[in-house]
Chain A
């Protein structure tokens, strides 16, 4: 599904270019759920944004293949229509645009891209209502401006609602669990689990084991110093919870030093 090879990414900071990702490798197969953990500022959101096609990040080396084809050449909206979905760590507010209009425009753009007919208003509403129930969200949120005045938890739920409506092939959830109360976490996890399927891949960026208690990942990776410093099974997350990131970072630095001539 997704293959990232030797990815190097920098961001512009005024005159200097600051490297964030420095040789990241990652492969996620169809049907798999991978968790990415790592210290604050290690580049997890950067990776998510690069996959979604955000401007302002410069890929200086490496490649990303999505379903066998080069992903990095595609504009963000095409990536979305091809089945990539990013649940934002910080969902933005869009004043004046009712949630339901954005959902409808998004779904129809993808359907058009796939050569399918646009959904009419009634079918669309039926679909959205079913997903609302899944996310235990109030219908009134559909008619409010996108994320405007939503509580932190409502915003995160809204991201997963969009995912449920759009049914992506590859979903990247950037800290969707942060800011959710205990019950909401369960609702979101149920929503995500309901979407697990042999055709769909998911990447969960998270800091906490508690999300992984509900959504059991196939693989857990630690992002440190710009690359995947360590990978393992679900048990790795438990070990990180106990020991923190210090030991992984130390190891990553060693490897980096060793790699230098």
Chain B
């Protein structure tokens, strides 16, 4: 059986394609965390006082907290004093005003990653904000969007040009006291994307952020804030990669979404941070807090995620259903191969009346991968006629990987209807041989099986992203059933 297992392993093993490093001159803070470092970050970004105060409050609170221990993930202790909390490509002076000001080396990096920043080369209908290490390097189509009153820029720019919006909404969904990693992020976050869609505007293109960790020993702490005002609609995409390194790197991001009356936000992620090598060395620790607030009636927030990268993924994109008749959705594919670990899921908090949520989670484990779904459906007393449907499927490739499901349900209103379905299936040599005996190669068989399994989630992704996700799963599984 031993060599059969390794054949499946070979099938899912693959080389990480985005693992190169771009040598850049950088401007960085010394390693370690202190009030001085936070003041330095804030000063570098020329922030107004309210921002510095907020950061310092978060930092002081963080000092009283300890890392969460309840997830199924295991890792050696993280030395928070060894991390560099601020690193920016040097050539940049005061934030890019146009693409012409962006370092050509950076543009080449994004091209290599398949994210062209030249506007004319962009896929029609996608505006991109590119975040390199800690800072946003370019935002495309800004002017075109501006004509509609849409603000789409880096977080730093938003702080400069729209402080009143930042002040109103920052921390209003994920407060700085929320959890260990979100609090750390609140203290040190250096950039990210900001987006505001004015009332009644349907954003005519997909907005997209592409995150890249480049520098060594650097943590990436970005913060995204999206506000859809009354009746607005926006579809937002997020992608990420990092170079291959033997050390683990920390990525602790926060995403806050606010949907006002009748607004809709669709947030899609294809996460492909460096997962570490096949022996489990290196890789990104992806400890992320994502939460949406359906703050007013008839609003809708929908999360779709394809998580294939990172050594450890710890994230629970959630929706607070405050407004009556609001709708929350979570569609997820999480893949763990080799020694990757994922503890991911969602929280649907029903507060308003007639609120509805759907959870569709697909976990794929291969190699020694460990994959946990952790979900909370909470129906408050106030949430009359709340509905939730949860479907949670696990696919195991081989016999050394693991899947766990932790569905938590708290219902305080008797009129609620909460349904949960779960399934686990294992794919092994027998299934592969069956396909091969029909003329389908083992590689094709794996991708047939995996894409069949993920179909319902992929159809929620915007077209280009769906293709990308399918390809990603293809490579992530090269060499995989065990």
Query: Which positions in A face B, CB cutoff 8 Å?
Result: 52-56, 75-77, 79-81, 85-86, 88, 91-98, 101-102, 105-106, 109-110, 113, 145-146, 162, 166
The answer to whether A95 and B453 have CB atoms under 8 Å apart is yes
- Would you list 8 pairs from A and B whose C-beta atoms are within 8 A, ordered by A residue? A88-B434, A92-B431, A96-B395, A96-B452, A106-B438, A106-B440, A109-B441, A166-B439
Interface residue tally on B, bucketed by range: 20 to 34
Pick the most buried of B431, B433, B438: most chain A CB atoms within 10 A of its CB: B438
B84–chain A nearest beta-carbon distance, Å: 43
The answer to whether B425 and A109 have CB atoms under 8 Å apart is no
CA distance A92 to B452 in the complex (A): 16
The answer to whether B425 and A54 have CB atoms under 8 Å apart is no
Query: Which residues from A are CB-within-8-Å of B438?
Result: 80, 102, 105-106, 109, 162, 166
Which one of A55, A97, A166 lies within 8 Å of B452 (CB-CB)? A97
Q: Answer yes or no: B113 CB below 8 A from chain A CBs.
A: no
CA distance A77 to B448 in the complex (A): 15
Indicate whether A53 sits within 8 Å of B395 (C-beta atoms), given known contacts A92-B430, A105-B444. Answer: no
B448–chain A nearest beta-carbon distance, Å: 5
Query: Which residues from B are CB-within-8-Å of A97?
Result: 448-449, 452
Which one of B4, B395, B453 lies within 8 Å of A56 (CB-CB)? B4
Which one of A80, A88, A93, A96 lies within 8 Å of B439 (CB-CB)? A80
Query: Which positions in B face A, CB cutoff 8 Å?
Result: 4, 7, 395, 423, 425, 427, 429-431, 433-442, 444, 448-450, 452-453
The answer to whether B435 and A102 have CB atoms under 8 Å apart is yes
Residue of A nearest to B426 (CB): A95
8 closest A-B pairs by beta carbon, nearest first, are A80-B439, A95-B425, A96-B453, A106-B438, A96-B452, A76-B436, A109-B439, A97-B452
Main secondary structure of the interface of A (DSSP, over half): mixed
The answer to whether B434 and A105 have CB atoms under 8 Å apart is no
CA distance A145 to B452 in the complex (A): 9
Indicate whether A86 sits within 8 Å of B444 (C-beta atoms), given known contacts A92-B430, A97-B452, A101-B452. Answer: no
CA distance A101 to B4 in the complex (A): 25
The answer to whether A53 and B437 have CB atoms under 8 Å apart is yes
The answer to whether A94 and B427 have CB atoms under 8 Å apart is yes
A-B contacts besides A97-B452, A102-B438, 19 pairs, CB < 8 Å: A52-B437, A54-B437, A76-B433, A76-B436, A77-B437, A77-B440, A81-B439, A88-B437, A92-B434, A94-B427, A95-B395, A95-B449, A97-B448, A101-B448, A102-B435, A105-B435, A105-B444, A106-B438, A109-B444
CA distance A19 to B392 in the complex (A): 45
Query: Which residues from B are CB-within-8-Å of A98?
Result: 452
The answer to whether A77 and B395 have CB atoms under 8 Å apart is no
CA distance A55 to B425 in the complex (A): 22
The answer to whether A105 and B448 have CB atoms under 8 Å apart is yes
CA distance A91 to B435 in the complex (A): 11
Residue of A nearest to B444 (CB): A105
The answer to whether B435 and A94 have CB atoms under 8 Å apart is yes
Query: Which residues from A are CB-within-8-Å of B436?
Result: 53, 75-77, 80
Query: Which residues from A are CB-within-8-Å of B430?
Result: 92
CA distance A75 to B449 in the complex (A): 20
Main secondary structure of the interface of B (DSSP, over half): helix
Query: Which residues from B are CB-within-8-Å of A106?
Result: 435, 438-440
B125–chain A nearest beta-carbon distance, Å: 28
Which one of B427, B429, B440 lies within 8 Å of A102 (CB-CB)? B440
Pick the most buried of B4, B7, B425: most chain A CB atoms within 10 A of its CB: B425
Residue of B nearest to A80 (CB): B439
CA distance A55 to B430 in the complex (A): 10
A104–chain B nearest beta-carbon distance, Å: 10
CA distance A226 to B355 in the complex (A): 67
Query: Which residues from B are CB-within-8-Å of A166?
Result: 438-439
A229–chain B nearest beta-carbon distance, Å: 28
CA distance A90 to B15 in the complex (A): 36
Query: Which residues from B are CB-within-8-Å of A162?
Result: 438
Query: Which residues from B are CB-within-8-Å of A56?
Result: 4
B196–chain A nearest beta-carbon distance, Å: 40
Query: Which residues from A are CB-within-8-Å of B444?
Result: 105, 109
The answer to whether A76 and B437 have CB atoms under 8 Å apart is yes
CA distance A68 to B478 in the complex (A): 35
B442–chain A nearest beta-carbon distance, Å: 8
CA distance A80 to B440 in the complex (A): 8
B480–chain A nearest beta-carbon distance, Å: 15
Query: Which residues from B are CB-within-8-Å of A91?
Result: 434
Residue of B nearest to A52 (CB): B437
Query: Which residues from B are CB-within-8-Å of A96?
Result: 395, 425, 449-450, 452-453
CA distance A54 to B441 in the complex (A): 13
Query: Which residues from A are CB-within-8-Å of B435?
Result: 94, 102, 105-106
CA distance A98 to B444 in the complex (A): 14
CA distance A79 to B437 in the complex (A): 8
Residue of B nearest to A83 (CB): B439
Pick the most buried of A76, A86, A166: most chain B CB atoms within 10 A of its CB: A76
Query: Which residues from A are CB-within-8-Å of B4?
Result: 55-56
Residue of B nearest to A95 (CB): B425
A5–chain B nearest beta-carbon distance, Å: 23
Residue of B nearest to A113 (CB): B439
The answer to whether B449 and A94 have CB atoms under 8 Å apart is yes
The answer to whether A77 and B439 have CB atoms under 8 Å apart is yes
Query: Which residues from B are CB-within-8-Å of A55?
Result: 4, 7, 429, 433
CA distance A21 to B444 in the complex (A): 32
A174–chain B nearest beta-carbon distance, Å: 11
Which one of B431, B437, B449 lies within 8 Å of A80 (CB-CB)? B437
Residue of A nearest to B440 (CB): A105
CA distance A250 to B102 in the complex (A): 87
The answer to whether A54 and B440 have CB atoms under 8 Å apart is no
CA distance A249 to B375 in the complex (A): 61
Residue of B nearest to A146 (CB): B434
Query: Which residues from A are CB-within-8-Å of B450?
Result: 96
The answer to whether A86 and B453 have CB atoms under 8 Å apart is no
CA distance A86 to B439 in the complex (A): 11
The answer to whether A110 and B431 have CB atoms under 8 Å apart is no
Residue of B nearest to A78 (CB): B439
CA distance A101 to B395 in the complex (A): 18
Query: Which residues from A are CB-within-8-Å of B427?
Result: 94-95
Pick the most buried of B425, B433, B440, B449: most chain A CB atoms within 10 A of its CB: B440
CA distance A109 to B445 in the complex (A): 12
